[in-house]
Chain A
C-alpha cells in the first residue's frame, strides 16, 4: 500500500509540471507584458515614467530573459518562497489575495461534492434496483435535465425565482449585516441559508451524471453471478444488494472525486460570478479582463493543483476500498 501511495504521488509530478506550464502560457498569452499594461494604466492616470526607469524595471522583472528562464523564476518563486508574483491591479502580492478566495472555492466545492454524493447514492441505487419503475423514469428525466441545464442558467433561474416568489436576495454568502461580522450561530445559519443555492446549482449536473453512472454500473453488477451466489446463501434482498453489488458499484463513486471535482471547481467559478460569491471565480474573471496576469495565472495553477489532489485522494480511497487495486 505504501509503495502504491509513493508511486501514485510520483506519477503526479509530470502532470503537475504540465499544469504549471499551461498556467504560465496563459500568463504570457496576452499581447505585451504586464509592464506595458502597467505603463498604459499609469499613462491613463496622468503619470509619466521615464525611459531609464522602464529599462530598470524590465531588467528587475527579467522581462527580457528567455521564456524558459522566466518560467523558472516564476515557478521557483512559488515553490521555494510561496511567492506568486505581484498583482498590478491591486498593488499587492498575489499571495495576499488568493488564499481566502481559494479557501471559499474549496469549501463550496467540497460542500457540493457531499451534496452530490448524498443525493445520487440513494437515487442511483433505487433507479438500478427498480429499473423501469415510475421513480426510475423520474430520476432519469431529472438526470437528463440536470445535465442539460448549464450552471449559470440554473443560477440565474434560481435567483429570479427566489427574488420573484420568496422576495429573497440570493447573491453573496452572507446577508449584509453578517458580512464582516464575527463568527456566531447566527452567522453560520445565515451562511447556510445562502449556501444552499450555490450548492444545488453547482451540484446538480454532477448529481445527474453520478446517478446515471451508478445506475449503469449497478445494473451490470446486479446480473453478475456473485449476486446469485449471495442470494443462494439465503441473504435477504436488501443485504444482498447492499453488501455485494453496491459495494463494487461504489468504485465509480469514489473515483468520481477525480472527475467531478474539476467539474465542481469549474461550476463554482462561473456560478460565483453570477451569484457574486467571494470565491476565486469573480476575482479570476476580473484579473483576466484587466490582464492582471500573475493573479489570474496563480488561480488557474491552484485550481489545477486542487483537482490533482482530488484525483490523488480518490485513487487512494479507491485502493482502500478495492483490494484488487491495492494488490497490483
Chain B
C-alpha cells in the first residue's frame, strides 16, 4: 500500500473557505482547508457533526447549497490535458459538468434517497454513461449490466429494470457505486457511504470499494465520523473540527502519534469503548429481577375474511434474564427485533405470546397479566430512555415540567418539594439547576439525553431500558453519557437493558450480551466472551465486521462471513 507520493497530486485543494449566509448570521462552515488527493490513495476527512466535512467534499464538484458561498481558495484538478481550475468554473457550466461523473464520482450516505424512486436503477446508470462516454443506448445498457456485475449484484440483467425500493440497503449502495464508477472517474468521493448500513453490510461495501479502487487506481476522498472505519481504510487522514482541518497526516501517525488535543480526545473516546471493561459482573446466584420466557411477536396481514395471508416473526421465542445490578446488552442489526423486545417489555407493544416475570414487587408477577394500577407501578420501576433526544422531549414543556411529569402524575410530590427533587435530578445527570426553567430547544443532543435520563430517574426506578440511547450522539458525547449512566448505576442500584447495534458500545457498558438475528437470540454470554470469542457463526461474522480503530491491525477486511 505504500505508494510513493507523486510530485503532482491528482487534485489539490488550497485554502478553501465556504460561508453559509443564514438569516441571522454568517456561518463559516469551512475555513482555510487544504489537502491533496493522489491516485490509488485514500484520504479520510474525519470529524463530528457540523465540522464542515460534507460541505468540503461537495464543494469539489461545486455542488453546494445556494445560500453557501465559496469565499476563497483554489481547487485544481490535474489531468493529462493540464490543470483544471474547478473553483473558477461557473456553477453549472459545461466544463464542470464534464468533471462531474466523468472525472469525479460521488457516493452518498443515504442510498435510498440518493436515487430517484420513480426511475429504474438501470435507467439512472445508463443516463450517466450516455452523458460522458460515446455510446449507443444498447451499448450503454450492456455496460450497465456489466457494471452491476462488477459491484456484485446478482442477476444484473433483471435488477437493472428494478426500482430502488425493491433493493435492500446494501444493494442500493452497490447500485450507487456502479453509477459513480460508470464513467471511470479518477477520483471517488464517498460521503459517509456506510453510515446508514449495518456493520456486516458496511464491511462488504468497504471491501468492494477498496477492491474497485485498487483495480482502477482511483484516488478516494472518504468522509466519515467513524474513526474505526478510518483506521481500516485510510492512507491519509485529515481531522476537521468547526470548519478547520486541525491535523492531517498519514493514518498511522494520526492514530499513534496524534498531536492536536482534539484528535487525542476523539481517539480516546473511540478507544475507550474498545478497552476491556473494568466492571465486576454482579452475582447471579439469586433470582433474576426480570425474566423473559418465550417472548414472540408476529406481525401478520389477513384478508377481508380474516384469514392470515402472511406472518412475519419480528421476535421469535426470546428468553432473557436480568439480575439486580446487571447490565444486559441486546445487540443486533436493523430488523433483528431488538427494539421490539424493548417495547414489549414495557407493553408499549403487546407480545403475541410469552411471559415476562417481574420480581421487583413483593410477589412475583407476570407483566403481561398486569392491570392498569399494577402496570403503572411496573412502569415506574422500569423506565425507558429513547434513541432520539429531540423527539422524546415535549418541546412545549419546560425541562422542569418534563422531568416532573411522572412525579406529578403519581402525585408523589408537589410545590417546593417537587422543585427541589427536579433540581437534585438535574444535578445528578450533570446539568445545572437553572436548566429547569428552560425549554428543550435550548439544549444540545447530549444535554437533552441527560434530561431524558433525569426523567427516567424521577421515580427511583430499578431498571432502565436504554434503546439505542447513545447512537444519535457524536462519539465524544456518547462516551460521556455512558459514563454518566455507569456512575448513576453505582449510586442508585440500577440494572440496565442496553439495546444497541454498536458492539463497541455494548462491550464497554454491559456485563452480559444477547445477540439477536432475525427475531431470535442466537447467542448469550459474558460481554467479553461475546466480543473476543464468539461461538455462533453469526456473532463471529458480526464481531469480525466491526472496524478496529488501529491502522496497524486492520481486521474488518479479513472478516468471517455468515450465510444464513
Q: Which A residues contact B (CB, under 8 angstroms)? A: 224-226, 228-237, 243-244, 247-248, 321-324, 327
Can you list the 9 inter-chain pairs with the closest CB atoms, starting with the nearest? A234-B101, A234-B100, A232-B106, A233-B101, A234-B97, A225-B114, A233-B128, A237-B92, A225-B113
Chain B minimum-CB-distance residue to A238: B92
- Chain A residues near B142 (CB-CB < 8 A): none
A-B contacts, 18 listed (Cβ < 8 Å): A225-B113, A226-B116, A228-B63, A228-B106, A229-B106, A229-B115, A229-B176, A231-B100, A232-B63, A233-B100, A233-B131, A234-B97, A234-B99, A234-B100, A235-B127, A244-B116, A247-B116, A247-B119
Could you tell me the distance between the alpha carbons of A228 and B176 in the complex, rounded to whole angstroms? 13
- Judge whether B101 and A323 touch: CB under 8 Å: no
- Chain A residues near B132 (CB-CB < 8 A): 234
Cβ-defined partner of B114 (8 Å) among A226, A235, A324? A226
Chain B minimum-CB-distance residue to A10: B304
B102 at interface by CB-CB < 8 Å: yes
Q: Which of A231, A321, A322 has the most CB of B within 10 A?
A: A231
B166 at interface by CB-CB < 8 Å: yes
- Chain A residues near B98 (CB-CB < 8 A): 234
- Judge whether A248 and B127 touch: CB under 8 Å: no
- Judge whether B100 and A232 touch: CB under 8 Å: yes
- Judge whether B163 and A324 touch: CB under 8 Å: yes
- Judge whether A224 and B113 touch: CB under 8 Å: yes
Cβ-defined partner of A233 (8 Å) among B58, B108, B163, B179? B179
Q: Which of A226, A228, A237, A321 has the most CB of B within 10 A?
A: A226
B165 at interface by CB-CB < 8 Å: yes
- Chain B residues near A228 (CB-CB < 8 A): 58, 63, 106, 108, 114
Chain A minimum-CB-distance residue to B304: A10
Residue-wise, chain B 88-106 has the 8 Å CB interface mask toward A (1 for contact) of 0000100001111110011
Contacts A229-B179, A244-B116 known; list 15 others, CB within 8 Å. Answer: A225-B108, A226-B117, A228-B63, A228-B108, A229-B115, A229-B176, A231-B63, A231-B100, A232-B180, A233-B101, A233-B179, A234-B100, A243-B127, A247-B116, A324-B117
- Known contacts A229-B114, A233-B128; is A324 also within 8 Å of B165 by CB? yes
Q: B63: shortest Cβ distance to chain A, in Å?
A: 6
Could you tell me the distance between the alpha carbons of A323 and B118 in the complex, rounded to whole angstroms? 6
Cβ-defined partner of A232 (8 Å) among B92, B101, B119? B101
Chain A minimum-CB-distance residue to B65: A223
- Judge whether B113 and A235 touch: CB under 8 Å: no
- Judge whether A229 and B127 touch: CB under 8 Å: no
Could you tell me the distance between the alpha carbons of A232 and B128 in the complex, rounded to whole angstroms? 10
B234 at interface by CB-CB < 8 Å: no
Q: B169: shortest Cβ distance to chain A, in Å?
A: 14
- Chain B residues near A226 (CB-CB < 8 A): 113-117
B546 at interface by CB-CB < 8 Å: no
Could you tell me the distance between the alpha carbons of A162 and B161 in the complex, rounded to whole angstroms? 56
- Judge whether A236 and B163 touch: CB under 8 Å: no
Q: A68: shortest Cβ distance to chain B, in Å?
A: 26
- Judge whether A235 and B97 touch: CB under 8 Å: yes
Chain A minimum-CB-distance residue to B162: A323
- Judge whether A234 and B166 touch: CB under 8 Å: no
Could you tell me the distance between the alpha carbons of A248 and B118 in the complex, rounded to whole angstroms? 7
Chain A minimum-CB-distance residue to B98: A234
B110 at interface by CB-CB < 8 Å: yes
Chain A minimum-CB-distance residue to B105: A232
B292 at interface by CB-CB < 8 Å: no
Q: B118: shortest Cβ distance to chain A, in Å?
A: 6
Q: Which of A237, A321, A322, A324 has the most CB of B within 10 A?
A: A324
Q: A220: shortest Cβ distance to chain B, in Å?
A: 12
Could you tell me the distance between the alpha carbons of A304 and B418 in the complex, rounded to whole angstroms? 60
Could you tell me the distance between the alpha carbons of A180 and B421 in the complex, rounded to whole angstroms? 88
Chain A minimum-CB-distance residue to B117: A324
B159 at interface by CB-CB < 8 Å: no
Could you tell me the distance between the alpha carbons of A323 and B98 in the complex, rounded to whole angstroms? 31
Q: B119: shortest Cβ distance to chain A, in Å?
A: 7
- Chain B residues near A230 (CB-CB < 8 A): 116
Could you tell me the distance between the alpha carbons of A321 and B119 in the complex, rounded to whole angstroms? 10
Q: A174: shortest Cβ distance to chain B, in Å?
A: 44
B429 at interface by CB-CB < 8 Å: no
Chain B minimum-CB-distance residue to A250: B118
Could you tell me the distance between the alpha carbons of A321 and B98 in the complex, rounded to whole angstroms? 31
Could you tell me the distance between the alpha carbons of A244 and B117 in the complex, rounded to whole angstroms? 9
Q: A133: shortest Cβ distance to chain B, in Å?
A: 12
Could you tell me the distance between the alpha carbons of A225 and B98 in the complex, rounded to whole angstroms? 20
Could you tell me the distance between the alpha carbons of A201 and B453 in the complex, rounded to whole angstroms? 60
Q: Which of A226, A232, A322 has the most CB of B within 10 A?
A: A232
Could you tell me the distance between the alpha carbons of A324 and B118 in the complex, rounded to whole angstroms? 7
- Judge whether B131 and A235 touch: CB under 8 Å: yes
B403 at interface by CB-CB < 8 Å: no
- Chain B residues near A231 (CB-CB < 8 A): 61, 63, 100
- Judge whether A322 and B118 touch: CB under 8 Å: yes
- Chain B residues near A243 (CB-CB < 8 A): 119, 127
Q: B55: shortest Cβ distance to chain A, in Å?
A: 12
Chain B minimum-CB-distance residue to A326: B163
- Chain B residues near A225 (CB-CB < 8 A): 108, 110, 113-114
- Judge whether B113 and A234 touch: CB under 8 Å: no
Could you tell me the distance between the alpha carbons of A185 and B108 in the complex, rounded to whole angstroms? 59
Kindly identify, within residues 111 to 131 of chain B, every residue whose CB is under 8 Å from any CB belonging to chain A. Answer: 113-119, 127-128, 131
Could you tell me the distance between the alpha carbons of A231 and B100 in the complex, rounded to whole angstroms? 8
Could you tell me the distance between the alpha carbons of A35 and B100 in the complex, rounded to whole angstroms? 79
Chain A minimum-CB-distance residue to B127: A233
- Judge whether A327 and B165 touch: CB under 8 Å: yes
Could you tell me the distance between the alpha carbons of A150 and B539 in the complex, rounded to whole angstroms? 68
- Known contacts A233-B127, A235-B131; is A327 also within 8 Å of B116 by CB? no
- Chain A residues near B179 (CB-CB < 8 A): 229, 233
Q: B185: shortest Cβ distance to chain A, in Å?
A: 10
- Chain A residues near B61 (CB-CB < 8 A): 231-232
Q: B116: shortest Cβ distance to chain A, in Å?
A: 5
- Judge whether B131 and A234 touch: CB under 8 Å: yes
Could you tell me the distance between the alpha carbons of A89 and B99 in the complex, rounded to whole angstroms? 76
Could you tell me the distance between the alpha carbons of A229 and B112 in the complex, rounded to whole angstroms? 11
Q: B144: shortest Cβ distance to chain A, in Å?
A: 13
Could you tell me the distance between the alpha carbons of A112 and B118 in the complex, rounded to whole angstroms? 29
Could you tell me the distance between the alpha carbons of A236 and B106 in the complex, rounded to whole angstroms? 16
- Judge whether A248 and B116 touch: CB under 8 Å: yes
Q: A321: shortest Cβ distance to chain B, in Å?
A: 7
Q: Which of A233, A236, A323 has the most CB of B within 10 A?
A: A233
- Chain B residues near A229 (CB-CB < 8 A): 106, 108, 114-115, 176, 179
- Chain B residues near A322 (CB-CB < 8 A): 117-118
- Known contacts A225-B114, A237-B92; is A323 also within 8 Å of B163 by CB? yes
